[in-house]
Structure 1
Amino acid sequence: MPIDPHLAETLATVVDEGTLEAAARRMHVTPSAVSQRLKQLEQQVGQRLLVRAKPVRPTEAGQAVVRFARRYALLEHETQAALGLEAQGARPRITIAVNADSMATWFLGALAEFTRTRDVQVELLREDQDETERLLTSGAAMAAVTSSPIASPGCAVAPLGSLVYVAAAAPDWWRRWIGDPATARTQQVGADVLARAPRVDFDRSDELQATWLRERGVDPALTPRHFVPSTHDLAVAVEQGIGWAMLLVHQAEPLLETGAVLPLGGQPVTTPLYWQVTRTPSTLLEDLSRSVAEAAQRSLRRPS
């Protein structure tokens, strides 16, 4: 039996909102009506689609139906526009998973270019670049900036370039843990210092500082760390001497020039990024991909 797109849209709304009650409020129907639609949809496909926890979560089959609902809504809107018909319902919504550093630096420029002439709603889901692929697979996102060069099921992938980070710390940090900051340009920071001096991580999934420490022969699991979940505020935390961290080159350069932070040496850490997007014959997604590629070309280290 064909999948009813309107029932599939109900499932996607429930997944978005987290509960049947919240989805019912958004759809202006009763929770009982939402429950009946979900039951009807599960009978159509012959599989369980939703785990009714709090928040609800789609099963693997439910994820496939949610992806279908997202694509159908986009294609329906574009078909109405191509036929010169007045669009029914809300503007289409494109959900994009983006890592925090891209969002804070180059990605919003791509989004500004894209939305300037397109009648569309965009929702950004902030997630680590190693985790954004999961949102594609679940159907929560139609496109993502990821660290994986392997295309997710039903997606196309293209290299964007790389973010480059350098290790830095404030003079106050250097003075406390090493000594005279005047020696920073000539003195190597030893493994013994790095093992006991605090670092700043974005969150618990942040591997940048850990990667750099391992290259210096230090076990990152044994070192103290603070958490600052903001790209901008993390740089401020380093400047204030709270801990050392890997800073984006464009953040670090002006601070290094003024002496607000000092280099810790070692090799920069480079994070390759890739653009993954749902394989749907959509002019909106094609235009979005073009805007993202152009912004990445201007801002990221070119892919090798």
Structure 2
Amino acid sequence: MYNHDQLATLAAICDSGSFEGAATALHISSSAVSQRITALERASGAALLQRTRPVLPTRNGQALLRLARQIEVLTVDADAELRGGSTTTNTCAPLRFSLAINADSVSTWFQPVMKAIAVDRRILLDLHIEDQDHTDALLRQGAVMAAVTTSRTAAPGCTVEPLGAMVYWPACAPSLIRDADVDCCDPSRLPMLRFDKKDDLQHAYLRKIKAHREPPIHYLPSNREFLTAARLGLGWGVLPEGQIARDLADGTLVHLDPDHNVTIPLYWQRWHLPSETLDRITSWVRDAAHHALIETPVQPTPSRTTRVGG
């Protein structure tokens, strides 16, 4: 029903954010790009793109974008199978694999996956860094093929499996406690670091210890700068155990509260598609998580819960 060249053009526009960028990527004219999209919108009976900067898919466009991505995956898999899986004789361009994942995972347990992709050389990684409570939204929109998320409920057309859980500890520079003219046992009186408005990790910890006040907050929407700020004593933050183990060992950071941590279960969601490429990536993710994350705690299913992220 839908023309493959037209679907590929839709994907190219969404990748580049413009009709001109898609024309460059596809080695065709801008007018040819416009003609293909007009024909695809006529065939679907709906507007597929918002003519914004960057150009974004509409709700109907998201559905066809997901179809375009799936066709691309299946095409790459079929070409590899016909050529015996060879990376040197494969005539298709490397598959662009889009993944929604939180910054803390990228800086810790996910790094072996990036190493495997580097060795494999058949995949181009397209990371969408997002709070883990919000990554599944990108999956539902068709913007990504897979997501590391806190949601146990599979998005439509996807499978879900537990990866394990990340352990976070409230930590700070020794100077923050030493120099503070407050009760150092009360984190709500100390300056607090927060990644952005979506970051609920620190507040999850404050709820856990039943703190009754809002601390003064510094916002640092960068994983590296967030850790640097903690090291410099700007404030305390809830940080991944795997990221701060060396800092805790050498005294650069100390446990603000060694009796309480925050544990975040993570899940792997991917398209429910018979794909050797997606299976291979899933295997790498599963293996990396097995070596770095703790077993996912058994959780009740509450009627309504404030989930945590960071």
TM-score clears 0.5: yes
CA separation of 1:4/1:138 partners in 2, compared to 1, >3 Å: closer, same or farther?
same
Say whether residues 1:216 and 2:219 are aligned partners.
no
Please report how far the alpha carbon of residue 87 of structure 1 lies from its aligned counterpart in structure 2 after TM superposition: 4.5
Please report how far the alpha carbon of residue 259 of structure 1 lies from its aligned counterpart in structure 2 after TM superposition: 2.9
Q: Deviations over 1:160-201 (max 9, x none)?
A: 01110111121211123246xxxxxxx8612xxx34421112
Percent identity reads 38
Figure out how many residues of one structure are paired with residues of the other and give that number: 292
The answer to whether the 8 A contact 1:169-1:241 is kept is yes
Which residue identity lines up with residue 95 of structure 1 in the other structure?
A: S
Say whether residues 1:202 and 2:198 are aligned partners.
no
Aligned counterpart in structure 2 of residue 244 of structure 1, from 227, 236, 245 = 236
Residue matched to 2:265: 272
Aligned partners of 2:15, 2:247: CA distance in 1, in Å?
41
1:85-104, aligned counterparts within 5 Å?
A: 87-104=90-107
Residue matched to 2:53: 54
Aligned partners of 1:235, 1:83: CA distance in 2, in Å?
47
TM-score, with length taken from structure 1: 0.89
Aligned partners of 2:212, 2:14: CA distance in 1, in Å?
40
Residue matched to 2:141: 138
3-state SS of the aligned residue for 2:225? helix
Please report how far the alpha carbon of residue 237 of structure 1 lies from its aligned counterpart in structure 2 after TM superposition: 1.4
Aligned partners of 1:240, 1:283: CA distance in 2, in Å?
46
Residue matched to 1:164: 167
The answer to whether the 8 A contact 2:117-2:123 is kept is no
Say whether residues 1:176 and 2:179 are aligned partners.
yes
What's the Cα RMSD here?
Answer: 2.1
Aligned partners of 1:295, 1:277: CA distance in 2, in Å?
16
Aligned partners of 1:233, 1:36: CA distance in 2, in Å?
45
Residue range with higher mean Cα deviation, 211-220 or 240-249: 211-220
Which residue identity lines up with residue 185 of structure 2 in the other structure?
A: V
Aligned partners of 1:97, 1:143: CA distance in 2, in Å?
6
Please report how far the alpha carbon of residue 81 of structure 1 lies from its aligned counterpart in structure 2 after TM superposition: 2.3
CA separation of 1:163/1:113 partners in 2, compared to 1, >3 Å: closer, same or farther?
same
TM-score, with length taken from structure 2: 0.87
Please list every run of 5 or more consecutive structure 2 residues that lacks an aligned counterpart in the other structure.
298-310
3-state SS of the aligned residue for 1:40? helix
Aligned partners of 2:111, 2:246: CA distance in 1, in Å?
22
The answer to whether the 8 A contact 1:111-1:292 is kept is no
Aligned partners of 2:25, 2:70: CA distance in 1, in Å?
20
Residue matched to 2:294: 301
Aligned partners of 1:108, 1:261: CA distance in 2, in Å?
23
Residue matched to 1:150: 153
Please report how far the alpha carbon of residue 77 of structure 1 lies from its aligned counterpart in structure 2 after TM superposition: 1.8
The answer to whether the 8 A contact 1:114-1:287 is kept is no
Aligned partners of 1:89, 1:287: CA distance in 2, in Å?
18
3-state SS of the aligned residue for 1:116? helix
CA separation of 1:256/1:33 partners in 2, compared to 1, >3 Å: closer, same or farther?
same
The answer to whether the 8 A contact 1:111-1:291 is kept is no
3-state SS of the aligned residue for 2:97? strand
3-state SS of the aligned residue for 2:162? strand
Residue matched to 1:75: 74
Say whether residues 1:33 and 2:29 are aligned partners.
no
Please report how far the alpha carbon of residue 146 of structure 1 lies from its aligned counterpart in structure 2 after TM superposition: 0.8
Aligned partners of 2:30, 2:239: CA distance in 1, in Å?
48
Aligned partners of 2:245, 2:78: CA distance in 1, in Å?
48
CA separation of 1:229/1:60 partners in 2, compared to 1, >3 Å: closer, same or farther?
same
Please report how far the alpha carbon of residue 219 of structure 1 lies from its aligned counterpart in structure 2 after TM superposition: 5.8
Please report how far the alpha carbon of residue 129 of structure 1 lies from its aligned counterpart in structure 2 after TM superposition: 0.8
Which residue identity lines up with residue 54 of structure 2 in the other structure?
A: P
Residue matched to 1:184: none
